[in-house]
């Protein structure tokens, strides 16, 4: 702790304890948590939209909104969606609960690989405008993977009631803010 000297009313110097500045560790950890939550929600939502394409009617209408869906079998799109949902949730919950926190960087690696494969797919189809987004998403996922694997790993912990409730709150927020609007939009809006 940092110590500061101060004069009291009698002119005697006291030593006061000041909290240590958080510096780079807080900045990196805070940045990683922010990215994990933001991109976890993004990937889970994007993936959930693909999972909904298991419905034949939605799958038939989807290429009008997203051209590359026409070039990919329905089962592959649904599989990619499941991977993205699990990867998005995996970037948040294992680290938050402390239960198997090594799953967080593994989820990020899986999402980075998915984005690299997506970039290659779009290059092969000549859809160059989509490649920068794939590379950005993959780069952020790779940064999270390295950050949580080497730079600021999360230590395993016992699942407490508090952590379980926080995780349920995150799943509730994910459901209300991402899954329900995605489901509503895809089932009630014409492409």
Tens-place pLDDT, residues 47-65: 999 999 999 999 999 999 8
Q: For the residues 120-140, what does the mean pLDDT come to?
A: 97
pLDDT attached to residue 188: 87
Residues 8-45 pLDDT 10s: 555 545 444 555 555 554 689 999 999 999 999 999 99
pLDDT at res. 171: 94
The DSSP letter of residue 191 is -
- Dihedral, CA atoms, 159, 103, 146, 148, nearest 10 degrees? 0
Q: Taking a C-beta distance cutoff of 8 angstroms, is the pair 109, 139 a contact?
A: no
Structure tokens at 184: 């509503």
CB 87 within 8 A of CB 140: no
């Amino acid at each position: 702790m940092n110590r500061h000297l101060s004069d009291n009313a009698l002119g005697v110097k006291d030593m006061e304890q000041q909290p240590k500045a958080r510096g780079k560790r807080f900045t990196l950890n805070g940045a990683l948590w922010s990215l994990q939550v933001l991109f976890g929600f993004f990937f889970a939502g994007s993936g959930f939209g693909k999972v909904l394409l298991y419905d034949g009617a939605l799958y038939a209408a989807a290429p009008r909104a997203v051209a590359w869906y026409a070039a990919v079998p329905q089962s592959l799109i649904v599989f990619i969606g499941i991977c993205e949902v699990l990867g998005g949730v995996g970037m948040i919950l294992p680290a938050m609960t402390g239960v198997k926190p090594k799953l967080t960087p593994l989820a990020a690696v899986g999402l980075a690989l998915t984005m690299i494969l997506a970039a290659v797919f779009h290059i092969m189809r000549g859809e160059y405008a989509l490649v920068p987004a794939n590379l950005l998403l993959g780069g952020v996922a790779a940064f999270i993977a390295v950050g949580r694997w080497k730079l600021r790993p999360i230590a395993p912990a016992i699942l407490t009631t508090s952590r379980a409730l926080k995780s349920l709150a995150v799943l509730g927020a994910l459901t209300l803010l991402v899954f329900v609007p995605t489901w509503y939009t895809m089932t009630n809006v014409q492409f």
